Chains A and B, each alone.
Chain A
Amino acid sequence: MISLIHKESVEKNKWISETDMNNIIVVAESTPGPIAINSSAFIGYKAGKILGSTIATLGVVLPSFTIIILISIFLNYFENAPIINHAFQGIRAAIIILMVEAIFKLSKPLKRNSFFYSLLLISFILSYFFNVNAILLILTGIILGIIKELIKEKKVIHNVWPNDTFFDVL
């Protein structure tokens, strides 16, 4: 999708610059929400302010919306056909594969240090064994991220803690 966006927005229509493109790639993947929506809102704004933003976003949403509704209607007619059930049994395998792929794809750009693995493990354990709410965990992560940076900036513990390497890991 990113190359398509690049082709249309930077090369063909010149709505945004190359720098803008690089910025939005980083930001769209990290800020909340679907990457496609983040990108379309941004590029739409650059091309035509709030109206542009709205129209671009509507543009990216409408095809999906229509197709899914059509598929929904189709499925509602055929949902009890055994062939559909059999297909979905196979599709379970596909889902597992795709999610495993997603795990690797999301981990790749990150620094895989002990901080990373401990957070990952804690999150997994809390969610799987203790059914802690996902949104709660993410919210905690956001707060932790802010606190972590605050600590680094104030260097409060830096003066008290003799060993630097703990915070080097962070």
Chain B
Amino acid sequence: MYDLMILFLTFFKIGLFTFGGGYAMIPMIIEETTKFEFIEESEIINFIAISESTPGPFAVNIATFIGYEQAGILGSTFATLGVILPSFIIILSIVKIIEKIKDNKYFKSIIKTVMPIVIGLIIATVLEISLSSLFNIHTLSNIKNEFSLNLTSLISLLIITSFMLSLKFFKNKKLAPIFIILICASLGISISYLLV
């Protein structure tokens, strides 16, 4: 029962402070879940990847995933309830004044201040994930000892980046997240076998 309450509260907290949609949640999710030490960062990253590729709101996907890993279907229910409740409550409270809220000066000021902070957080998270996934660097102080190349991930990154950049510059097209993930998954499999 204790587990369920922790799941609910953790995701309630996350849902409450997510400004800017799904991806803005990622720094908080990594922080809050690795705190408990029952999920490793590499596992979380896999969950994040799957949650980004399946249909539906990222927040719901990731909450369901982590909740299920911790405590089965009950866990996913509590986690999902937690992540959607702040939204639900806030929207219901402001639904009658939504027209005025969007022009409210305090609302606008808060958005102008919070968004750069969120973006800074995401940049920090990307840097951290890149260093640990590509170069196995987990702590800044120990770089020399930890450094090793993860060739599969590195090469996949190079290939998918060049592919997407060419698509953008030559055909002005963007790739949908699900395709990016599928292509990278195939790249991961093929490159791993090629490298062996």
Contacts and interface: CB of A to CB of B under 8 A. Distances in A.
A138 to B, nearest CB: 5
Given A32-B90, A141-B117, A91 B65 contact: no
Contacts of B69: 72
A117 B119 CA distance: 10
Contact of B92 (A50, A103, A138): A50
B102 A32 contact: no
Contacts of B28: 134-135
A98 B181 CA distance: 9
Residue of B14, B57, B120, B193 with highest tally of chain A CB at under 10 A: B120
Given A53-B92, A91-B188, A95-B48, A34 B113 contact: no
Given A96-B126, A142-B110, A149 B105 contact: yes
Contacts of A65: 60, 64, 76, 80
Contact of A92 (B13, B27, B51, B134): B134
B180 A92 contact: no
Residue of B17, B55, B192 with highest tally of chain A CB at under 10 A: B17
Interface residues of A, number: 85
A133 B31 contact: yes
Nearest to B24: A106
Contacts of B20: 29-30, 106
Interface in B151-170: 152-154, 156-157, 160-161, 164
B64 A91 contact: no
Nearest to A41: B91
B124 A63 contact: no
Interface in B35-58: 45-46, 48-52, 54-58
